[in-house]
A and B are shown apart, each in its own frame.
Chain A
Amino acid sequence: MSDAAQLAEMFIFRGVPMGSLHELCAMAPPVSFKPGMTIFTQGEDSDVALLLVDGLLGVEVTSAGQHREVGQVNAGEIVGETALFAREGKRSATVRALKSSQCLLINQDLLLNASKNPALIAIERHLLGTLARRIRRTNQETSKLWKEIGVHTPEETATPSIASKLKKLFGGGE
């Protein structure tokens, strides 16, 4: 299967003309990574994002000297976009190939030279939705945090404590 045909099967490229996908592949041929290869390294300068076409990537964070796998990237997902669009230019996580993987490298050149390509527009629109969902999730976590903090604040006695909620849930008296 050609690179463009492989892209055509991806959900984010639904409705994108085949010619545009061929053009995209000509400008940014998919790159392969073998299992175990490091693609991004936390703390390094960054200038490229990835669209995973096929395979599986793992995301790791080193914090306080401890390595933790914090997530995986599945086919059709984008990773590393802040390298191109955010003011912060350092990688905040390490990304490795967990399986043999094929990725489309999205860099400044591609964004500058293919800005009218419907395939690239599809990637950018996909990114918009993805970012909005991530922010909503972070906002939900903020609300949860406030709730938890409110529960733990001594002056907010009217709010039931976690202990009392657990007692109610699992039984047991004061």
Chain B
Amino acid sequence: MNQITAEDSDQLAKRIVAHHSFPGASHAAIQRVLNKGEYKSLPHGADLCVEGDPGDEIFFLVRGNITVLRKDINGEDRVLSDMTCPCVFGHMAVVDGSRRSATCRANGPVEMVVLHRRSVDLLITEGSVAGVALRRLLIASLCDQLCSANGFVRKIVLDNSHGDDITQPPPATGTTPVQPAKKNTRVRRKDSDEDDLRTLSLKLGGWEAELGDLVDMEKEVEYVMDEDQRRTLDAKKKR
């Protein structure tokens, strides 16, 4: 297995620490993490990971640029973002065992350190210097990613709201007056469509309010139980 050179590892670790200021971040600790990974280089256009595939690797970009893509409803690739060094990516699928949520494609030749799942699984349960560093680096990266994702949603909403106030609370179905149809719909108002339009308007109002919640609350509350919690609850119910 190829390893990153001491010089590259030193430089990348310094840049990561400068970029993510998590508690206990140290250049030496990040270097230890990088030394557990495999060094790889890929040509322009190569996919590091593909949306929908299982994910067993975390990537640390050493050199080059990565384009992050997701498929839209029509199956066309949409560029979510571009990433440059220093960045860590691909960790969501490894953390929660889900499939890749986006495709990462080399935009020009790239060099990276690949940390495989078996190493990650070991490190994130450890109290070692490398374990603490990796765990907190991933948390810091996910926090930034969440803030950025929320900002992205905010931008889409604002770009398509045509001046509508998305901060208004959702209408309570059955008690709220009919909302006007949104300007960016293709619905033509006809008397015979009144009932449908009422339903449509309420739906749109609620939808935008939901997005308002999502956009506004970066510290949103997690109601979803993890799989272990769910299994425990199910077992209790059965008993």
B178 at the interface (CB under 8 A from A): no
Number of interface residues of A (CB under 8 A): 69
B108 at the interface (CB under 8 A from A): no
Q: Which residues of A contact B211 (CB under 8 A)?
A: 141, 145
Which of B3-11, B34-42, B58-66, B199-207 faces chain A? Answer: B199-207
A124 engages B139 (CB within 8 Å): yes
Which A residues between 113 and 145 are near B, CB-CB below 8 angstroms?
A: 115-118, 121, 124-125, 127-139, 141-143, 145
A3-27 vs B, CB cutoff 8 Å, 1 = contact: the mask equals: 0000000010000000000000000
B96 engages A138 (CB within 8 Å): no
A70 engages B216 (CB within 8 Å): yes
Minimum C-beta distance from B185 to chain A (A): 6
B184 engages A138 (CB within 8 Å): no
* Interface of chain A: mostly helix, strand, loop or mixed: helix
**Closest residue on chain A to residue B233 by CB atoms:** A11
Q: Which residues of A contact B124 (CB under 8 A)?
A: 125, 128
Q: Which residues of A contact B122 (CB under 8 A)?
A: none
**Closest residue on chain B to residue A11 by CB atoms:** B229
Contact of A172 among B20, B186, B195, B228 (CB under 8 A): B195
Q: Which residues of B contact A75 (CB under 8 A)?
A: none
Minimum C-beta distance from A113 to chain B (A): 10
A91 at the interface (CB under 8 A from B): yes
Which of B82-90, B111-119, B142-150 faces chain A? Answer: B142-150
Contact of A141 among B142, B214, B229 (CB under 8 A): B214
Contact of B96 among A81, A92, A136, A159 (CB under 8 A): A136
B32 at the interface (CB under 8 A from A): no
A131 engages B146 (CB within 8 Å): yes
Which A residues between 90 and 125 are near B, CB-CB below 8 angstroms?
A: 91-93, 95, 108, 111-112, 115-118, 121, 124-125
A65-82 vs B, CB cutoff 8 Å, 1 = contact: the mask equals: 010101111100101111
B127 engages A86 (CB within 8 Å): no
Q: When A63-B212, A170-B196 are in contact, do A128 and B186 touch as well, CB less than 8 Å?
A: no
Q: Which residues of B contact A95 (CB under 8 A)?
A: 219
Minimum C-beta distance from B236 to chain A (A): 12
Q: Which residues of B contact A77 (CB under 8 A)?
A: 221-222
A37 at the interface (CB under 8 A from B): no
Q: Which residues of B contact A85 (CB under 8 A)?
A: 22-23, 136, 139-140, 143
Q: Which residues of B contact A117 (CB under 8 A)?
A: 127
Q: How far is the CA of A131 from the CA of B64 in the complex (A)?
A: 27
Q: Which residues of A contact B219 (CB under 8 A)?
A: 59, 79-82, 91-93, 95
What 10 pairs across the A-B complex have the smallest Cβ distances?
A116-B127, A71-B221, A86-B143, A111-B23, A131-B142, A132-B96, A138-B149, A85-B140, A92-B218, A61-B216
7 contacts between A and B (CB under 8 A): A59-B219, A77-B222, A92-B217, A93-B219, A135-B145, A152-B184, A166-B203
